[in-house]
Structure 1
């Protein structure tokens, strides 16, 4: 194809005697025609693939369907059997024949272990896509059945779901065996394992899904270190933003017995959808919610609609969807609408900070997935302002990033500080800008928010049509391949980002003929105005698949030779861009004898501290009576004999379920805890203790001492300080159980306690929950099922309090509580089964 085009250009030069400017215009025109022709050819090739590819496979593997070989004939007989047989048996007995017919198998990791016997001849290559969601244990079976592997994924997107996973590996240092200490634990995914093993990686840097660069700007800055190269759209005078926010002032129905929905927001979302479809019925729309209840409400509302909304939901391609954060990865639509649902409390006017999955560890990955689903527009509908998220009350990275993204959507560019950096002009560009300005054209420099920028954008005064000028400067020279320098920028800017004209200005040309270059640019501006008018009538777009096709046709891609191979957790580690974000298929070009991993290094701005909702707690949050003897004598507490039945909690007639609301630490007078001999100091601290107990009681004594200590500026509580705080507690309110001490609110006793205070995140460890409340949770779990095994009962109890990991401390605590409940007759245990006693 190149030879034919070059010959055509040479003939045109001889026939028309084109000057250098005319030759450049002709060359640019033919270049775009060649790209468009190749895109059409690629489309035809995709349509022919279902029949053409099998024919090519048969030809390559010498498969004669008329005169089949003995192994193919045997396989054919197996296919014609009407009973018996299985896929695993076929692969075990006829693997060579099957591979000749189907050399590429598409399977999930679980199905590889299920259908492919371990002793068959290994495959040449296994490719893991979306590897950030594949656990190491699930990937091992596929890795063991292949000679080489390519691992493709994005470390900044969704990790494997842990909804039903229970880990038994979080042993304390004291209880860990020597074998436990020698064997490192698995990373959360095979992708993370490859990064940790320092396996060579192929880095991808282009992003072209977003048809407005601001759609990727926040993620590029917050998660990808600004090293993701995106393409800018022409500057707009309309002021309309691709990322926006609308305040609707709805009310979240939370609390005990609440629906956990925001009907005002849901109605506003529905109206937004109707307006979008009224403007353009072909617009594809996705709705993302932060919780499943709001998703279900919106789904019901949409299913009751008729007309354009119903048609949008029933489309064969890109139908309207409503999903929550956990399920949206892999989708993309023209417009994404967010329903945040949550709102400040009507009475206190304070926003709760439990945003479900977003609040937990890894919540920022879920946010990154959700905000990168749109091609054209993202709109947040919220019932609170970003300032309502009090960052001093949470360490959740997801909540920090949500506030920053809301500020960005509201129009505060400082929320993405440094993302819009301008290139320092060189003499070449400076002289070109001065000449263009003198000729009467309007000029903007460095248009874009990523490492790739349109060097100059020019237009005639009064016109809306901008022309992109690409120069052969330093940034152009640093791009590794001809495809990156010449083909991809022109095609994406012209076809995807909708620049009416894209022009090249070469330094030798500028030096030799400044007047000719200025005349060509002016002519391009006039032509751009005409093209803009035409594009409003009929627009042409190139799909991402066509972009990939041109990339692979033009040149071999850069394989990242010489890329740094330092440990990815070092601050100097350059960012790595991956296939899921860019949808570029270059991983196939990697050498088959190497394992490629496409990811992004963790943001340097995120300190290696635990976010709110982490399964592992900081040292100062780990409370145990064994940490040190209390100055307050344990014998003076009301105590219960664990060996004998008693009438304490768990036997209440009706057990109530409500939400646990943790105490929000106040900032009080520092140093007051050091001088409790003074009456006024003792009175102040005693009042704080009373308020904390009233809010969280029954509360474990070390948790109480730590909360009170932090209120007065003490971050770590010693045994002496713990005893000083307990000395302020009335003796009738403190009760000992299994080596722990719990402080109960006034007028509340264990024998009448009938509450279970549930939470979706682990605000309290299992040793911070009283035996009475744990027993009530077990009884509630057993009331839903006739009988449960001991492990199942333990898991159900843990889920009630948002605890996901079954460590040795958790297990021993639950076993002790269960034994105590059985002794008191509230639960019946027969072998490994537990049930409620018959009435």
Structure 2
């Protein structure tokens, strides 16, 4: 667990100690976690370097003093000249996943021409954590292509039906060409790097760009390279595999696109259509089973009857979606589009979602109420 300041770290340590004092089982569990080979730690931003764990919890610390209040643009060590380096260390401590706790959102951080790289990095990271993608994070610099080579690649992409933007800034780097998704404005499908002939013999440049590419790929970018010598000798041969890949990545406009939009109102329309099977839903809501069992029961007894031919990997209540619903517990369509990862929503059969999403959220909400209700005497 990592906090952005030493005071926040101390507060977390006190909270853990209080929980341990109040419950011996918690104390035993914490002791067990601390004594593991890669045991639990609680540190602040400045001293987390060198530590890696499967899961990292990050307390962002900064935020409004009250709900809906103003977020003061004071970010401690992050606002220093080396703040971005400290964040880079923090964001690479996790081997598998991170859980972010923040009372402010990315758009609460105001960016200007004088903003430090650390503040920009924090804003971009929160944006990524909220959306689960790099959408909206790249910096549109307005810079022109660096060479005629880049211009010729951009023109060839345009002729193939793909618009692109030159010199897009991401995480302190510039991507030569960022290819846009024709079906979803604002989303980039791929970054293309255009490397000159002298690049082959520059070992330091190769090492630097390999690290740079690893950083961009970890941030969600798909990077492809075109060598100038190969391009000028056989542009068609260089471009064709990239075009095929872009077609496989682009948003399919013929599919029910409204299911995939980050727009809660469109999901609300789907809820209105889900009026059938009220008895089954009431029965499931009245059961004392766990939320996972309720969702599995609804899938088998209701959805499967009406959509028996839906592929297993596109079912609304497939195992991966059930796990996400149990862990994140969205109780409204706005929460659903906010917290459920985009890749899960996009791979769901649209007809199932339109018919049953509203009732599924009712089951989640009913489970939450039953868990928090006070027992009667």
TM bucket normalised to smaller: 0.3 to 0.5
Greater Cα radius of gyration, structure 1 or 2: 1
Question: What TM-score do the two structures reach when normalised by structure 2?
Answer: 0.39
